Amino acid sequence: MSDVFNALAHPVRREILKLLRDGAVNAGDIAAHFDLAKPTLSGHFTVLKTAGLVTTERRGTTILYRLNMSVMEEAVAALLSLTENGEGEKKWKFVRRSS
Amino acid sequence: MSDVFNALAHPVRREILKLLRDGAVNAGDIAAHFDLAKPTLSGHFTVLKTAGLVTTERRGTTILYRLNMSVMEEAVAALLSLTENGEGEKKWKFVRRSS
DNA sequence: TTGTTATTTAGCAAATAACCGAAATACGTG
DNA sequence: CACGTATTTCGGTTATTTGCTAAATAACAA
């Protein structure tokens, strides 16, 4: 979980995750959103991938980055576990909508 | 929010937060839970305090550390905002129990 | 004031992180 | 094969982080 929070700790990486909310995006299109050199973005991709927050799929010459929802869910659960002591009533309820 | 996730990225700091789940604890008692020098722990306290995740209160010779729940809640909200795009159905439901 | 306990600050070494430009790799096309 | 496009890896610089010991500060008691 350290890798996950570490990945979330950089504003550029959080912005990358937001770009992936509505579907997979290729590395070049992501890089175009930032005033940073491509190798720098590639490094950020590696951090996100190491944390498991994104997955990749080669699509011809480009590489698609996709959000890994299950790891995002685990991060929320880990965050909640820091405040819930397990004994007695839970203070929070966090559920995926069934539809 | 970078400061918050950065603070959460270190396992010792997450463990410190867990020690504070059931109420305020003084610096010495927290330090006793780790095999680290006290100045090292003091540095971790500073990171948590800078992030706003804990507050301090001097109580005689000791200093009490207390969890700042509102910042924890903001962290959860920030995490959710990375996956919710605002248009259409929300995928998640996250509510505080009323009781 | 002197001493004792609790905690932080200062100073230092080693490791890691963030950025860049240049070079390398992977793929598809002619 | 050779070329163009997309992306990553390499090598380097600078800044930050984590840990330590030793010294400084804060509060209290005698």
Assess contact for B83 and A67: CB atoms under 8 A.
yes
What protein residues sit with their CB closer than 7 Å to strand D?
A: A 26-29, 31, 38-39, 41-43, 45-46, 56, 61-63; B 6, 9-10, 12, 35-37, 39-40, 43-44, 47, 58, 60-61
What separation, in Å, do the N-terminal and C-terminal C-alpha atoms of chain A show?
A: 29
Over residues A1-46, the pLDDT tens digits come to 999 999 999 999 999 999 999 999 999 999 999 999 999 999 999 9
Q: How far apart (Å, rounded) are the C-alpha atoms in residues A99 and A82?
A: 29
Please give the sequence-ordered ranges of beta strands (E in DSSP) within B13-96, or none if there are none: 25-26, 54-59, 62-67, 92-96
Over residues B30-75, the pLDDT tens digits come to 999 999 999 999 999 999 999 999 999 999 999 999 999 999 999 9
The pLDDT score that the predictor gives to residue B88 is 58
Q: Domains, chain B, ranges and CATH?
A: 2-81 (1.10.10.10)
